[in-house]
Amino acid sequence: MATTTSAPLLTLAGIRKEFPGVVALAGVNFELLPGEVHALVGENGAGKSTMIKIISGLYRPDAGEMAVGGEVAEFRSPADSIARRIKVVYQELDLVPDMSVAENVFLGGYPKTPRGLVDWAALNSRTESLLAELGLDIDPGTPVGELRVAEQQLVEIARALSQQAQIVIMDEPTSALSPGEVDRLFAVIEQLQQRGVGIIYVSHKLDEIFRIADRVTVFRDGQLVTTTPIAETSIQQLVTWMVGRELSDLYPKSPAVIGEPLLRVSNVSGPGIYDLSLTVHAGEVVGIFGLMGAGINSVGRVIFGASPRTAGQVTLAGQEVGAGSPGDAMEKGLALLTENRKEDGLVLPLSVKNNMTLASLRKFATFGWLWPRQEIKESADYVNRLSIKTPSLRQQVRFLSGGNQQKVLMARWMMRDPKVLLLTEPTRGIDVGSKAEIYRLIDEMAHRGLGILFMSTEIPEILGIADRILVMREGRIVAAFGRNEATQERLVAAAASDLNDAIVEAG
Amino acid sequence: MSAEISTPARSVGASGQSSLQDFLRRLFGSQEGVLFLIVAVLWLYLMSRSDVFFTQRNIGVMLSQVSMIAITGFGMTMLMIAREVDLSVGSMQAFAGVTAMQALNESHSLIVGLLAALAVGAIVGAINAGATLGLKISSFIVTLAMMQIVRGLAYTSTNAAVQNEHKLASFKKVFNGAFIENPVRIPNPVLTMVIIFIIFGLILSRTTFGRSIYAIGGNPEAAALSGIPVNRIKAICFIITGMLAALSAFMLIARMNSGQNNAGFGFELQVIGSVLLGGASLAGGKGTLVGTLLAAVLLGTVNNGIVLLGYNSNWQTAVVGLMILTAVFLDTMRRRMTGQS
Amino acid sequence: MSSVFASPQENGWQKWKAVWARNEALSLLVLLAGVIALFMVIEPTMRKSSVYWDLLRQVSPTMVAAVGITLLLLSGEFDLTVGSMLALTGIVIVDTFNRTDNMWLGILAGLLTGLVIGAINGTFVTVIGMESLMTTLGMMFAIRGLVYVYTNQTPIVDQNRFTQFTRLWFKNFGPVPSPIIVALVLVALAYFLATRTEFGRNTYAIGGNANAARVSGINVRRVKFTLFVISGLMASVAGLLYTAQTDTGYFNAGLGFELEVLAAVVLGGASLAGGQGNVTSTALAVLIIGTIGKGMRLMSIDTTQQLLVIGIVMLIAVYYHRIRKQTAARLTQEAYAARQAARGNVLA
């Protein structure tokens, strides 16, 4: 079905949303046309997700009007939004893992028999045909929890089809997909486009946006910066709009002074990683790049002992580090910052100070008795040194912004004076200013002679701060580059080859 | 509501608030503050309505009754901050009491009797810990089962009650609540409660052990990754709770002058109710001994007031329920307003 | 509705293992059969069928209440008021008998009690947003207290001696006692609700992933509110059966009943976090606990010491569920890997 009309599917006029202390959206005007892929870009916290939540009925705007298909729409709940044929595919997939594919596809709107009961036969057969449309060969009775992320994503899209959505919103849909899977997804998007469906596509992967989008809208600090046809802009231009300044000053990289080898990892295996060997020297920043699901998130955990190590050896400055014991790893001088700030980093109900000192309590205690004065003094020092924005040391850490929370965690580990710091995606989900400060801290620590092992899924930061870059795919190191030989293209090529492709082995 | 309610406030940024404002905010902004205000108003009211209320004898009796719930509650608070719970403390009132009385009758020694009770508490606590942490079953379920098992053991060891056959003169004196038997002129159960409150209060707020408990409850993953021995600390909390429950069982048999095998029915819910009313949460990571103490005193005051003002004592149970509902309601409202929900 | 996809290399034994591991109700049925067989061997009286009819009569109030709680727990919420409800319903029923001399009004008033209390619980939790475990703990004390105040701790006896009412407990249809018929009808209705209606599936979805349910347009609050009302209603039906046994309203009825019911629900494999469990398993778990109790009574083991055994059985059962679920998870993983290997990457 071709697009016969260019009347907008969705119009936002002057949409405003405030939260205590923050203006999340300051009067946004936005338009989505039928058959259009409209990309939204912006840093985290720029207002993209607030806008999505307003369109999906999770939030109600404080001011402004929204119209769907020319009719004014006031959504009180997601049900209202769904009734207007809007479907959001969230980044954190909203599926019920214990329930079947079919039930998930029709969640909230099951096919029913004339008596009003769930029509299991229709449920399964209709799901089957929807999955077939997407080229997905899965038994509709399979519990969703057993599918791979990419398959789950397509289940979400099948859900959009089942609701005959006119507007589909996709929030970072490719973050867990391999390039083959991305192609598959883009084919589906084009299919949707041809039916006249309007697609709002949120992504921070700018190259993808240039492949798929017709127009792009840029957000910064709750403001809509601009909307422009994709053909009339460039990646460089988008970044400048998003960040509000030139990108180059993000990475303060001072020349590395490489010293003795500190961390030696030999033939280590564990959940998600196989036969990992690497060395980190004093003063060196080693980056490991990989796509989501490539195993980079396990590297730090296995080395540190937070996940079981099934084979291999780890030594730090010549001393062997025991497997499966974070305590021992800490004794020997390792520190680990994980990628899930809220899940296994912060203790949300505790204060800023208590979060900072958590890993070095012994330092402030004699026979287990804490001396608060020393603790307060040292915490205050770190608050100033890392310019952490908090009203007081007693403030519960949950009330801090993502960037400041991350700095609290950096302080927790810096306080222990580790020899080697393992950082897994330390800048995930934080604002540009805090990112820059974390890069500065990493640089400063390396300069002081610490070894840094830095795992990331984002190419620019890896290129920006690492002295040496390893590429990981399916749990194995598949390539290694020096700082000067690494380019975006080479990293992507090494990280993304599919199983069937020839594996680029590199040393 | 964190561990450092008593550490001096130290402002890093410019807060620009007067200390009075800060004080008021903390008073109304915490469960402890609200409880304190309610208790204070209630005491003033009862003092104005009854001449008997604020007498040494009445307050002594009232606090002695409170002491058993509070002492067990202190252990339970630590356990619940660490995100675990113990439903077997009610049955413990029976089993530890019965065992202690039997030991007293056999040995004619106060110390042996007390040690017998504490040993029972420690063992049951250790079993709770072992099953919860070793088999990785939720402590709610493990201790629900242990509640039956321990009660069953109490029934197995005696048909109804173990009477005082040792006639130790010191026995009744130790924990007989109503009378003032010591130099500081505070009833022994109350004194015991205060001492335990101070000891465990300091442990909770001023030691690495206490800090670790809060961290474990707030985020067990983060605590483990920070090198805190999560299971060891939880196990100690289980054992402490068992022992404190056994101590209050000992206080109970001293008051009743016999060990009853049906003692403590519903005690676990009263204790947990007090701890929750005091500001702890089943989700762990928060709660203080001050809160638990105030909550226990509040419930004790209400019960006392109902009797003193001549109301039907049948109201006591209902009022406990209404207090809990009010506390949950206020807590929900407060969290809504501060946007924590 | 998880499908059992067998991977090609599963042999006979493994297939049985898979069936056992994946089917909660079946595994409990095996357990029940085992318990019955054991008692039949060691206690001759347990070989008489009359014992089992009697047993079914006795477990029916627990079964009714437990099924109500199971439905609520599927959505991730608790209700601790069932014990107090047993007393309150009894008092309301018998008191209405005495005041109106009308049996039907009494029964109606009893059921209405459950409806009202359920609605109050539901309002606290879904409208105000209070935490259900704490709220219903408070309600449990409040209701019990009101019963104490109203009755002044004396039982209320039915002055009309409605024999028709007591038949609800004592009448048999053939060998089948009437209370278990009530209970089984309610189990069947609950089963139907949970598996065949959209409401039931929404309940599972809410317990499985509340966020997913919300963004899918499911009215989470309304579903939970309804479940609280259902749970209250079931508790008052349990109270109705219980009261019919003695034709008297006892102020102390159902002390500790909430934990007894919860024990059965847990034994039935329901997860305290919601989303997992089913009413059939709960009903079977009630039978297992009932059989153990009955068997021990017949062996003249002191009633009170049965607690000991029930506690131990609970621990073993929970561990058994754990092993079973782990096995199921491992088997599905293996089957999944096999499926992937057989077909290659579906997306590549």
Taking residues A148-159, report their average pLDDT: 83
More confident of the two residues A231 and B15:
A231
Closest CB to B206 among A304, A349, A370: A370
**Is the pLDDT confidence value at B221 over 50?**
yes
Token pair in block for residue B308: 């003193």
pLDDT confidence of residue A3: 43
pLDDT confidence of residue C11: 66
Q: Dihedral of CA A457/A460/A465/A470: which sign?
A: positive
Query: Helix, strand, coil proportions of chain C in percent (round to 5)?
Result: 75, 0, 20
CA distance C98 to C94: 6
Token pair in block for residue C107: 């029964």
**Residues constituting chain C:** 348
**Is the pLDDT confidence value at C6 over 70?**
no
To the nearest whole Å, the CA of A362 is away from the closest chain B CA by: 7
Taking residues A298-307, report their average pLDDT: 94
Taking residues B12-21, report their average pLDDT: 51
Counting the structural domains of chain B, the total is 1
Which residues of chain A have a CB within 8 Å of the CB of C213? 96, 107-108
Considering only the C-alpha atoms of chain A, give the largest distance between any 2 of them, rounded to a whole number of Å.
Answer: 78
**Residues constituting chain B:** 341
pLDDT single digits (tens) C257-268: 888 898 889 888
Query: In a 3-state reduction of DSSP, which class is residue A507?
Result: coil
Confirm whether B167 is domain-assigned.
yes
Confirm whether B168 is domain-assigned.
yes
Taking residues A270-292, report their average pLDDT: 92
Q: Which residue of A has its CA nearest to C216?
A: A108
**Is the pLDDT confidence value at A68 over 90?**
yes
pLDDT single digits (tens) A110-131: 898 888 899 999 999 999 999 8
Which residues of chain C have a CB within 8 Å of the CB of B341? 129
Domains of chain A: 10-249 (3.40.50.300), 258-348+405-496 (3.40.50.300)
Token pair in block for residue C183: 């209970």
> Per-residue confidence at C311, pLDDT binned at 50, 70, 90?
confident
> Per-residue confidence at B180, pLDDT binned at 50, 70, 90?
low
**Is the pLDDT confidence value at A281 over 90?**
yes
**Is the pLDDT confidence value at B12 over 70?**
no
> What Å distances lie between residue B30 and A174, A359, A409, B12, C170, CA to CA?
44, 27, 26, 22, 55
Which residues of chain A have a CB within 8 Å of the CB of C204? 96, 98-99
Token pair in block for residue B327: 């506390």
pLDDT confidence of residue B199: 97
Confirm whether B19 is domain-assigned.
no
Closest CB to A117 among C3, C196, C216: C196
**Is the pLDDT confidence value at A70 over 50?**
yes
Which residues of chain C have a CB within 8 Å of the CB of A137? 343, 346
Q: Is B341 on the interface with A (CB under 8 A)?
A: no
Q: Is B136 on the interface with C (CB under 8 A)?
A: yes
Nearest of A238, A214, A334, A325 to residue A280 by alpha carbon: A334
pLDDT single digits (tens) A182-201: 888 898 899 899 989 999 99
Is B261 in contact with C262 (Cβ distance < 8 A)?
Answer: no
- DSSP-derived secondary structure letter, A250: G
Confirm whether C5 is domain-assigned.
no
Query: In a 3-state reduction of DSSP, which class is residue A269?
Result: strand
Alpha helices by DSSP H, A244-390: 296-304, 326-332, 352-356, 372-385
CA distance B91 to B249: 10
Confirm whether B234 is domain-assigned.
yes
> What Å distances lie between residue C4 and A138, A143, C15, C335, CA to CA?
13, 10, 10, 9
More confident of the two residues A409 and A437:
A409
More confident of the two residues C80 and C324:
C80
Which residues of chain B have a CB within 8 Å of the CB of A380? 10, 12
Which residues of chain B have a CB within 8 Å of the CB of A351? 2, 4
pLDDT confidence of residue B3: 37
Nearest of B150, B136, B120, B31 to residue B84 by alpha carbon: B136
The count of other CB atoms within 10 Å of the CB of residue A319 is 12
> Per-residue confidence at C98, pLDDT binned at 50, 70, 90?
very high
pLDDT confidence of residue A94: 81
Nearest of C341, C86, C73, C318 to residue C208 by alpha carbon: C73
pLDDT single digits (tens) B18-65: 577 767 766 667 778 888 998 999 999 999 999 999 988 899 889 988
Q: Is B318 on the interface with C (CB under 8 A)?
A: yes
**Is the pLDDT confidence value at A499 over 60?**
no
Q: Is A122 on the interface with C (CB under 8 A)?
A: no
> Per-residue confidence at B340, pLDDT binned at 50, 70, 90?
low
**Is the pLDDT confidence value at A246 over 70?**
no
pTM to 2 decimals?
Answer: 0.83
Q: Is A290 left (phi over 0), alpha (psi -120 to 50) or beta?
A: beta
CA distance C2 to A300: 35
pLDDT confidence of residue A251: 80
What are the residues facing A266 on neighbouring strands?
Answer: A313
Considering only the C-alpha atoms of chain C, give the largest distance between any 2 of them, rounded to a whole number of Å.
Answer: 78
- DSSP-derived secondary structure letter, A453: E
Token pair in block for residue A432: 């540009």
Closest CB to C311 among B149, B282, B325: B149
Closest CB to C307 among B141, B142, B155: B155
Counting the structural domains of chain C, the total is 1
**Is the pLDDT confidence value at B177 over 60?**
no
Q: Is A468 on the interface with B (CB under 8 A)?
A: no
| SS3 sequence of chain B | CCCCCCCCCCECCCCCCCHHHHHHHHHHHCHHHHHHHHHHHHHHHHHHHCCCCCCHHHHHHHHHHHHHHHHHHHHHHHHHHCCCCCCCHHHHHHHHHHHHHHHHHHHCCHHHHHHHHHHHHHHHHHHHHHHHHHCCCCHHHHHHHHHHHHHHHHHHHCCCEEECCCCCHHHHHHHCCCCCCCCCCCCHHHHHHHHHHHHHHHHHHHEHHHHHHHHHHHCHHHHHHCCCCHHHHHHHHHHHHHHHHHHHHHHHHHHHCEEECCCCCCHHHHHHHHHHHCCCCCCCCCCCHHHHHHHHHHHHHHHHHHHHCCCCCCHHHHHHHHHHHHHHHHHHHHHHHCCCC
Q: Is B321 on the interface with C (CB under 8 A)?
A: yes
> What Å distances lie between residue A324 and A224, A331, A453, CA to CA?
48, 13, 19
pLDDT single digits (tens) C47-84: 999 999 999 999 999 999 999 999 999 999 989 999 99
What are the residues facing A422 on neighbouring strands?
Answer: A336, A453
Which domain range does residue C53 map to?
Answer: 12-338
Nearest of A265, A312, A266, A251 to residue A420 by alpha carbon: A265
CA distance B247 to B249: 5
pLDDT confidence of residue C3: 40
**Is the pLDDT confidence value at B312 over 90?**
no
Is B273 in contact with C138 (Cβ distance < 8 A)?
Answer: yes
**Is the pLDDT confidence value at A139 over 60?**
yes
Confirm whether C223 is domain-assigned.
yes
Nearest of C271, C263, C231, C291 to residue C84 by alpha carbon: C231
Residues 6+ apart with CB under 8 A from A282: A258, A259, A260, A261, A262, A419, A449, A450, A451
Is B137 in contact with C319 (Cβ distance < 8 A)?
Answer: yes
pLDDT single digits (tens) C244-260: 999 999 999 998 788 88
To the nearest whole Å, the CA of B9 is away from the closest chain A CA by: 7
Element (H or E) spanning A452, and its range?
Answer: strand A451-456
Token pair in block for residue B267: 């005690």
Nearest of C204, B3, B17, C27 to residue A372 by alpha carbon: B3
pLDDT confidence of residue C282: 95
Is C141 in contact with B324 (Cβ distance < 8 A)?
Answer: yes
Confirm whether C207 is domain-assigned.
yes
pLDDT single digits (tens) B284-298: 898 999 999 999 999
Taking residues C270-287, report their average pLDDT: 90
pLDDT confidence of residue C1: 36
Confirm whether C343 is domain-assigned.
no
Token pair in block for residue A241: 């709009």
Query: In a 3-state reduction of DSSP, which class is residue C157?
Result: strand
Taking residues B5-12, report their average pLDDT: 36
| SS3 sequence of C65-119 | HHHHHHHHHHCCCCCCCHHHHHHHHHHHHHHHHHHHCCHHHHHHHHHHHHHHHHH
Q: Which residue of B has its CA nearest to C80?
A: B269
Is A346 in contact with B222 (Cβ distance < 8 A)?
Answer: yes
What are the residues facing A198 on neighbouring strands?
Answer: A167
Is C322 in contact with B148 (Cβ distance < 8 A)?
Answer: no
pLDDT confidence of residue C10: 52
Q: Which residue of B has its CA nearest to A390?
A: B13
> Per-residue confidence at A335, pLDDT binned at 50, 70, 90?
very high
More confident of the two residues C232 and A43:
C232
Q: Is A354 on the interface with B (CB under 8 A)?
A: yes
In A404-443, the residues whose Cβ lies within 8 Å of chain B are: 412
Lowest mean pLDDT among A242-251, A417-426, C220-229: A242-251
**Is the pLDDT confidence value at B9 over 50?**
no
CA distance A353 to A396: 9
Confirm whether C2 is domain-assigned.
no
pLDDT confidence of residue B338: 63
Which domain range does residue B260 map to?
Answer: 52-332
In A68-87, the residues whose Cβ lies within 8 Å of chain C are: 77-79, 81-83
More confident of the two residues C343 and C50:
C50
Is C217 in contact with A98 (Cβ distance < 8 A)?
Answer: no
Closest CB to B208 among A304, A346, A370: A370
Is C208 in contact with A184 (Cβ distance < 8 A)?
Answer: no
> Per-residue confidence at B183, pLDDT binned at 50, 70, 90?
low
- Average pLDDT over chain C, rounded to an integer: 88
Q: Is B207 on the interface with C (CB under 8 A)?
A: no
Q: Which residue of A has its CA nearest to B216?
A: A347
CATH label of the domain that carries residue C250: 1.10.3470
- Average pLDDT over chain B, rounded to an integer: 86
CA distance A138 to C5: 11
pLDDT confidence of residue C347: 40
Pairing state of beta strands A311-316 and A365-366?
A: unpaired
**Is the pLDDT confidence value at A505 over 60?**
no
> Per-residue confidence at C125, pLDDT binned at 50, 70, 90?
very high
Is B155 in contact with C304 (Cβ distance < 8 A)?
Answer: yes
Taking residues A69-88, report their average pLDDT: 90
Instruction: Find tokens 């991350």 and name the residue.
Output: A406
The C-side interface with B (CB below 8 A) comprises 124, 128-131, 133-135, 137-146, 148-149, 152-153, 255-256, 259, 262-263, 266, 272, 302, 304-312, 314-315, 318-319, 322
Closest CB to C255 among B265, B323, B329: B265
CA distance A44 to A204: 9
pLDDT confidence of residue A506: 31
To the nearest whole Å, the CA of C59 is away from the closest chain B CA by: 18
pLDDT single digits (tens) A377-401: 999 999 999 989 888 999 889 888 8
B265 burial level (CB within 10 Å; 0-12, 13-18, 19+): middle
Confirm whether B10 is domain-assigned.
no
Q: Is B1 on the interface with A (CB under 8 A)?
A: yes
pLDDT confidence of residue C339: 64
Q: How many CB pairs under 8 A join A and B?
A: 111
Max mean pLDDT among A306-315, B330-339, C18-27 falls in A306-315
CA distance C270 to B86: 20
Taking residues A11-36, report their average pLDDT: 89
Q: Is A456 on the interface with B (CB under 8 A)?
A: no
Rg (CA), chain B: 20
Residues 6+ apart with CB under 8 A from C101: C160
> Per-residue confidence at A445, pLDDT binned at 50, 70, 90?
very high
Q: Which residue of C has its CA nearest to B157?
A: C305
Nearest of C21, C2, C201, C4 to residue A100 by alpha carbon: C2
Is A368 in contact with B229 (Cβ distance < 8 A)?
Answer: no
Nearest of A4, A70, A227, A7 to residue A213 by alpha carbon: A227
Q: Which residue of B has its CA nearest to A336?
A: B225
Which residues of chain C have a CB within 8 Å of the CB of B325? 124, 135, 138-139, 142
> What Å distances lie between residue A454 and A317, A459, A483, CA to CA?
18, 12, 14
Nearest of C137, C132, C120 to residue C206 by alpha carbon: C132
Nearest of B272, B334, B283, B311 to residue B143 by alpha carbon: B272
Confirm whether C1 is domain-assigned.
no
- DSSP-derived secondary structure letter, A11: E
Q: Is B21 on the interface with A (CB under 8 A)?
A: no
CATH label of the domain that carries residue B319: 1.10.3470
Token pair in block for residue C18: 């898979």
> What b/e string do you get for A131-143 counting C-beta neighbours within 10 Å, with b at 16 or more?
beebebebebbbb
pLDDT confidence of residue B2: 38
Query: Helix, strand, coil proportions of chain A in percent (round to 5)?
Result: 35, 25, 40
Residues 6+ apart with CB under 8 A from C112: none
